[in-house]
Structure 1
Amino acid sequence: MAWFKRTQKGIQTPTEDKKDVPKGLWYKSPTGKIVESKELEQNYYVSPEDDYHVRIGSEEYFEILFDDNKFKELDKNLTSKDPLKFEDSKKYVDRLKEAQKKTGLKDAVRTAVGKSKGKDLVVACMDFRFIGGSMGSVVGEKIARAAAYALEHKTPFMMISKSGGARMMEAAYSLMQLAKTSAKLAQLDDAKIPYISLCTDPTTGGTTASFAMLGDINISEPGALIGFAGPRVVRDTTGKELPEGFQSAEFVQEHGFLDFISHRKNLKDNVNKYIDLILNQHLR
Structure 2
Amino acid sequence: MNWITNYVRPKISSLLAPREVPENLWIKCPETGEMVFHKDLEANQWVIPSSGHHMRITAKERLKHFFDDGAFEEIEFAKVPLDPLKFRDERRYTERLKDAKAKTGLEDSVLVATGAIDALPIVAAVQDFSFMGGSLGMAAGEAIVTACERAVAERRPLVLFAGSGGARMQEGILSLMQLPRTTVAVQLVKEAGLPYIVVLTNPTTGGVTASYAMLGDVHIAEPGALIGFAGPRVIEQTIREKLPEGFQRSEYLMEHGMVDMVVHRHELKGTIANLLKLLTKTPASAVARTPATSAKKPVPAIIDNEDEPVAEAAQ
TM-score, with structure 1 as normaliser: 0.92
State how far apart, in whole Å, the 1-side matches of 2:274 and 2:257 are: 21
Query: Comparing both chains, which one has the higher relative contact order based on Cα–Cα distances under 8 Å and sequence gaps of 6 or more?
Result: 2
- Kindly report the root-mean-square deviation, in angstroms, between the aligned alpha carbons of the 2 structures: 1.7
**Cα distance in 2 between the residues matched to 1:215 and 1:125:** 14
Query: Residues of 1 paired with 2:79 and 2:267: CA distance?
Result: 32
Amino acid at match of 2:249: S
- Give the counterpart letter for 1:223 in structure 2: G
Report if aligned partners of 2:80, 2:138 keep a CA contact under 8 Å in 1. Answer: no
In structure 2, give the amino acid aligned to 1:176. M
Q: 1:80 Cα deviation (Å)?
A: 5.0
3-state SS of paired residue (1:114): strand
Over residues 3-34 of structure 1, what are the superposed CA-to-partner deviations in whole Å (9 max), with x where a residue is unaligned? xxxxxxxxx97797211333332221112122
Q: Output the amino acid matched with 1:256.
A: G
The residue matched to 1:199 in structure 2 has which SS? strand
| Partner residue in 2 for 1:50 | 51
1:95-244 → structure 2 map (5 Å cutoff): 95-244=96-245
Distance of 1:209 and 1:15 partners within structure 2: 58
Read off the aligned partner of 2:27 and give its amino acid letter: Y
Q: Give the CA deviation at 1:124.
A: 0.5
The one-letter code of the counterpart of 1:241 is: K
Greater Cα offset, 149-158 or 82-91: 82-91
Most deviating of 19-28 and 91-100: 19-28
> Which amino acid is the alignment partner of residue 34 of structure 1?
M
Q: Do the aligned partners of 2:77 and 2:146 also contact (CA within 8 Å) in 1?
A: no
- What's 1:9 paired with? none
59-68 or 218-227, larger mean C-alpha shift: 59-68
CA contact (8 A) 1:132 1:164 kept: yes
Asked if residue 17 in structure 1 is aligned to residue 53 in structure 2, the reply is: no
2:256 maps to a residue whose letter is H
Q: For residues 81 and 24 of structure 2, what CA distance do their matches in structure 1 show?
A: 31
Question: Deviation of residue 277 (structure 1)?
Answer: 0.7
Q: Confirm or deny: 8 A CA contact 2:77 2:143 kept in the other structure.
A: no
Deviation of residue 76 (structure 1)? 6.1
Question: What's the offset of the Cα at 1:90?
Answer: 1.4
1:123 partner amino acid: A
The yes-or-no answer on 1:94 pairing with 2:92 is no
Deviation at 1:279, TM superposition (A): 1.1
> Shift in Å at residue 142 of structure 1?
0.6
User: In structure 2, the residue corresponding to 1:101 is in which secondary structure?
Assistant: helix
Judge conservation of contact 1:277–1:283 (CA < 8 Å) in 2: no
Deviation at 1:103, TM superposition (A): 2.2
Instruction: Indicate if the aligned counterparts of 1:79 and 1:107 stay in contact, CA closer than 8 A.
Output: no
In structure 2, list runs of 5 or more residues that go unmatched. Answer: 1-11, 286-315
C-alpha contact (below 8 Å) 1:76/1:110 kept by paired residues = no
Structure 2 counterpart of 1:127, one-letter code: D
Unaligned stretches of 5+ residues in structure 1: 1-11
Q: Which shifted more, 18-27 or 130-139?
A: 18-27
Structure 1 residue identity aligned to 2:20: D
Identical-pair percentage: 44
**3-state secondary structure, aligned to 1:100:** helix
Q: What secondary structure, in the 3-state scheme, does the structure 1 residue paired with 2:177 have? A: helix
Amino acid at match of 1:153: E
Once the two structures are superposed, residues 145-170 of structure 1 have per-residue CA deviations (whole angstroms, 9 ceiling, x without a partner) of 11100001110101111100000011
Q: Which amino acid aligns with 1:177?
A: Q
Q: 1:90 to 1:82 in 2, by over 3 A?
A: same
- Assess, with a 3 A threshold, how the Cα gap between structure 1 residues 80 and 242 changes in structure 2: closer, same or farther: farther
Note if contact 2:78-2:142 (Cα within 8 Å) is conserved in structure 1: no
How many angstroms apart in 1 are the aligned matches of 2:16 and 2:85? 51
Shift in Å, 1:79: 5.7
Alignment partners' CA distance in 2, 1:211 and 1:80: 22
Once residues 143 and 270 of structure 2 are traced to their aligned partners in structure 1, the CA distance between those partners, rounded to angstroms, is 26
Query: Which residue type is aligned with residue 242 of structure 2?
Result: E
